[in-house]
Amino acid sequence: MSAISVDNVWKEYGDQIVLENVSIEVESRSFIALVGPSGCGKSTFLRMLLGQERPTRGTILLDGQPLPSEPGRDRGVVFQKYSVFPHLTALGNVLVGKELTGSRITGKLFGAARKAAVEEARAMIVDVGLSGAEQKYPAQLSGGMQQRLALAQALLMRPKVLLLDEPFGALDPGIRTEIHQLMKRLWHETPMTVVMVTHDMREAFTLATRVIAFERRRDRPEEKLRYGATITSDIPIWPPRRAGVVATS
């Protein structure tokens, strides 16, 4: 299960209302694309799902339970940049989450636990199409490869929810199409719900099960800070996409 329930959420920074009255029920295993004008609060919403920010008002539940107030292993995240650590190899990057949660004191795993984690990380690296790059550092990888690595890093922790903040925004169109295919496959094969912020409508409609638009209903410049953005459209994709059911056409 990985259903998200957002009820009447507001987010304010000082006098500025960024989001107002956002309510949405996200079914387990959906793939939600969040679109909207620059600065309307999409990343802020994602950070609240991650647990990095707390709503000023309202509640967010994951499988009926309040979200823990800190990021945890049930929620993975990939940003447009800087999701991977430059000083670790590809293998080190994929392993790092397990090492940190496996041994809170030393940050390292030993013996059988390490062997199992390394095997799993290697398999994940192959799965995202990076075999042979295990010992390379991020600077030695292309942008598309780094984003594959960031996906592998997030997915090794088996998150219930994968949060993507314009993860493919900086990639060339050809590479982007390739990574869309990978993302689709990973979503079909992995029991997780995905919430992705994107500026690219084509990307939204290529990948998502549902496209959600955030916008300020009352966008008068003199009152800009007094009204936040909220959900103004909620578009289900037709024909419906279902995780695990790969379309034949």
Ligand X SMILES: Nc1ncnc2c1ncn2[C@@H]1O[C@H](COP(=O)(O)OP(=O)(O)OP(=O)(O)O)[C@@H](O)[C@H]1O
* Cβ 105 to ligand X shortest distance, Å: 32
CA distances for 201 relative to 44, 128, 235, angstroms: 20, 24, 12
Q: How far is the CB of 39 from ligand X (least distance, A)?
A: 5
Out of 5, 21, 28, 43, which residue is the one contacting ligand X (CB under 6 A)? 43
Q: Which residues pair with 145 in a beta bridge?
A: none
Query: Which CB atom, from 9 or from 145, has the smaller least distance to ligand X?
Result: 9
Applying CB under 6 A, which part among 25-33, 39-47, 62-70, 90-98 lies near ligand X?
39-47
Question: In whole angstroms, what is the distance from residue 227 CA to residue 18 CA?
Answer: 7
Closest CA to 43 of 159, 151, 169: 169
123/201 with CB nearer ligand X: 201
Q: Residue 230, interface with ligand X (CB under 6 A)?
A: no
Peptide bond into 239 cis (omega under 30): yes
228 binds ligand X, rule: CB under 6 A: no
Total residues at interface with ligand X (CB under 6 A) = 10
What does the alpha-carbon distance between residue 138 and residue 32 come to, in Å, rounded to a whole number?
28
Shortest Å distance, C-beta 76 to ligand X: 19
By CB under 6 A, tell whether 216 contacts ligand X.
no
* Residue 209 binds to ligand X (criterion: CB under 6 A): no
If the CB atoms of residues 60 and 95 are measured against ligand X, the closer one turns out to be 60
- Across the beta sheet with 4-13, what order do the strands follow? 65-66, 57-62, 4-13, 16-26, 229-236, 210-216, 31-35, 193-197, 161-165, 75-79
Rounded to a whole number of angstroms, the minimum distance from the CB of residue 40 to ligand X is: 4
75 binds ligand X (CB under 6 A): no
The Cα–Cα gap between 69 and 49 comes to 10
Residue selected from 44, 146, 147, 193 as contacting ligand X according to rule CB under 6 A: 44
Give me the residues that bind ligand X (CB under 6 A), please.
13, 18, 36, 38-44
